[in-house]
A and B are shown apart, each in its own frame.
Chain A
Amino acid sequence: MPIYLYLDRATAIHRIHPTVKVFAIFAVFWSVYWVDHPLALLPIGLLLMAAAQFTGAWPNFYRLRWLFIMVVFFTTLAWMVFYRVGKPLMVIWPIYVSRASLTFGLGRGLKLAELLATSVLFLSTTKVEEFAVGLSSLGVPYRAGFAITLAFRLVPLFIDSALTVVQAQRLRGHDFDRGGPFERIKRYVPVMVPVFMGALRKANNMAMALEARGFGKNHRPTSFIGYPVQLSDLCSFAIMGALGVGYFLIYYLGYGAINAG
């Protein structure tokens, strides 16, 4: 299975300037932040689905389908426990089902799912090298930007390594699912120790290899790929800016919230 999400396609979204893509993430996060109602979140959801279709990113969403389902389901459920507002339709302690709690929970679940979907779309269409360029052009120091992008590269490797360790310990009869919550956490020690030690070793090897390839020689390294700003970048920037302004206005004018009554 490929360990990274990037899909090498030649779509217009793939070609957008990395700085605009980083700005677009910010704009979507900003827009989602201001509204709670699922209907207000729906246009952003549709926009993300259209982008997934256009960029051919559905395989990545399929890979992460259970994560999306769990995020929406458990967030909705959790808020029906804590958001005990409105006339109850049904109460199965501790779950309080009312029109308001259901709408609020669903809205929160959709919010998280949209944040996740935005990140998946970004990683499906943006190489980590472009991400580093985007961060750098927004003023993030090169070393810090590189460290952030390196984390994106390493996390899948560590997950892969953890899965191997889980397999190795299962074969020695280790049962990860026995006992209560604390006992279960303790039962992951035989996984955490090898993964942690392996991560330290890999990080050390990688740091050595980076320096041996000249990392740190210049504070502002050059870039192999040029990113000239195109008209399409300006248009994308304007559209995403308008999205952010639009959602702030929706909030400012009193829409997008959930009526507790």
Chain B
Amino acid sequence: MKSDAEIQSNDRVPGSDARHSAVAVEDVSFTYHGGERPALRGITFEQAAGEMIGIMGESGAGKSTLAKCLNYIIPGFEDGEFRGVVRIGSRPLADTRVCDVAPMVGMVFQDFEAQLFSTNVAHEVAFAMEQIGMERAEMAARIAAALEAVGLAGFERRDPTSLSGGEKQRLAIASVMALRPSVIVLDEPTTDLDPEGKAEVFALIRRLRAQGISMIVIEHEAEELRDCDRILILHQGEIIADDPPHRVMTRLELLERCGIHPGDLNRLLARVGISAHARSVADAEALIRKALHLAADGEGCRRVLAERAPAARTGPSAEVPRPPASPAVLAPPLVEIEGLTHVYAEGARALDGVNLTISAGEFLAIIGQNGSGKTTLAKHIVGLLRATEGRVLLGGRDRERLAAAETAREVGYVFQNPDNQIFAATVEEEVAFGPRNFGLVADEVERRCARVLRAVGLDHARERDPFLLGKGERQRLAVAAVLALEPRLLILDEPTTGLDYREQRRMMELVSELHRAGTAIVIITHTPWLVAEYAQRAVLMRAGKKLFDGQVRELFAEPELLASSSFRAPEVTALGRRFGVTALSVEELASWLEAAR
């Protein structure tokens, strides 16, 4: 891979001009065709050449709409009422075409599947250059440089569909980089990625910024935007904050109000009474040691914490009691998986001799990198796949011998994308679909609909068209539709993907409530804090094998094991380990530190 200096000297953006801002947005407002209120209202900001700006805000705040204004998709592609001016360098974007703006502004979308069109990586990068009529020799040189810069050199002949999520997103970035735009806009580029894929993309973003490319990154997680020069917060279509990260990220109340994950470190600092911004875990550690007068020596600190905060025992086997599990945990296993192997038709071994037991009332998280076999395992539990070897028992009975109705009563499965199941004209009809299929009488269907819609907070929307609901509401509707079958075990595949922090919390509180009511929960997720704060037990998968099966705290006490599976603990856990304890939440570590003060 090229060094940053080499890249800077060879590939520096020719269009960047120090006399003008890279981007100037002047009083931009936009209302979608048929929209009830403006998606953007009076947006004004400038971006200096080479600056990196983060944009945050809740779902529907106008982030993606603003991004689309920057490359003329709005108003060039989307219908609606547009006012204001967007300038790229000195050029105002008006009376032009989206394709004419492409060489100036590169856009990377959240949905990486929809932006890859070609049959191999080299063709993918070449696509945009072919469109502007570039000479073949120049294209070859730029393809090599772009792939080198994103760490995909040697992948030229690979089929893009065979790449991992992180690789696909880096390829999408390479394909816009090849045109050498002066500005690159990334709209939630890491939404579907595992922690390793996420880290790959953000490392690349930092390298591009070092080349002098002006970057605009839309993101839900404040932690990821610490390296920005500025962060803009959008709320209901307006900019309500435009400051450097250290100012924005310490305004915790504002962040939470805007549906933004405020980041563990600053939340912790605030909890222990330190008014400062931590740029890293090491930074937070130093601030805490200084403020709380904890010794720099790790062993000494461990001793102090162990003495003053009895709950905070040290070491991987340390077991701090979590909220008591429901009595059902002691019941016989709900699911028993014995030596399960699954080989797909093309020969890929997705599962390799997995053994797993799930008891009634448990809350289990299945984690691991993309392609590690998590979803395949879940699909075996609900009977969507047939085992190559081994078997799955539901309530002691061989799942392959159970009728669909019997399986559905035992296990419900909520797909990652709620739009894979929604079809009915109203919310109520959607929920009633499953119970009716199982031949329940009208009164019972009505009773279940009312109960589950109340549980997911959609009882006010019974008559609404499901396609008009927001993503978070559609996700809750999908859960309700499965819950109406009253399964003893509910499996949720990435239920928080694409949701903002507030919606993620709401979804997880719903799941937690179901768990407390006695439903066993299996959640497949890439989000470390969800696992830490909600799950009791974790299964770590890698290459189709079960690498770890035990208490969440034990797992997060093994950073090397996590790293080997492309997963990582939440920052608060990483920080806690510097003090010799394995904390699972900000509240937990803060209380221990307070006790040790």
Contact = CB atoms under 8 A, between A and B. Distances in A.
Contacts of A4: 119, 159, 161
Contacts of B344: 1
A224 B136 contact: yes
A88 interface: no
A1 B385 CA distance: 14
B130 interface: yes
Contacts of B159: 2, 4, 6, 8
Contact of A172 (B76, B100, B437): B437
A226 B133 CA distance: 14
Interface in A135-178: 150, 153, 157, 161, 164-165, 167-175
A172 B485 contact: yes
Interface string B447-477: 0000000000000000000010000000000
A113 to B, nearest CB: 22
Interface stretch (B102-110, B390-398, B560-568): B102-110
Nearest to B423: A193
A214 B127 CA distance: 8
A212 B71 contact: yes
Contacts of A218: 131-133
Interface centre among A127, A205, A224 (most CB of B within 10 A): A224
Interface stretch (B54-62, B322-330, B414-422, B577-585): B414-422
Interface in A193-211: 193-194, 197-198, 201-202, 205-211
B131 A214 contact: yes
B157 interface: yes
A56 to B, nearest CB: 15
Contact of A217 (B100, B136, B413, B482): B100
A128 B124 CA distance: 12
Contacts of B412: 171
Contact of B176 (A206, A213, A222): A213
B247 interface: no
Interface in B97-140: 97-100, 102-103, 106-107, 109, 111, 113-115, 117-120, 122-123, 126-136, 139-140
A204 B159 CA distance: 23
A221 interface: yes
A221 B120 contact: no
A205 B127 CA distance: 17
Contact of A189 (B97, B98, B115, B423): B423
B7 interface: no
A41 to B, nearest CB: 30
A2 B122 CA distance: 19
A214 B100 CA distance: 7
A208 B485 contact: no
Contacts of B107: 209, 212
Interface in A79-128: 127-128
A54 to B, nearest CB: 20
Contacts of B485: 172-173
B135 A173 contact: no
Contacts of A3: 161
B114 A173 contact: no
Contact of B130 (A173, A206, A221): A221
9 contacts: A6-B159, A172-B433, A198-B419, A210-B117, A211-B76, A213-B176, A216-B131, A217-B97, A220-B133
3 closest cross-chain pairs (CB), A and B: A173-B437, A224-B126, A214-B131
Given A205-B114, A223-B136, 18 more contacts: A2-B346, A161-B420, A165-B421, A167-B384, A170-B384, A173-B437, A189-B423, A192-B423, A205-B115, A208-B77, A209-B115, A212-B98, A212-B102, A213-B102, A214-B128, A217-B100, A221-B130, A222-B129
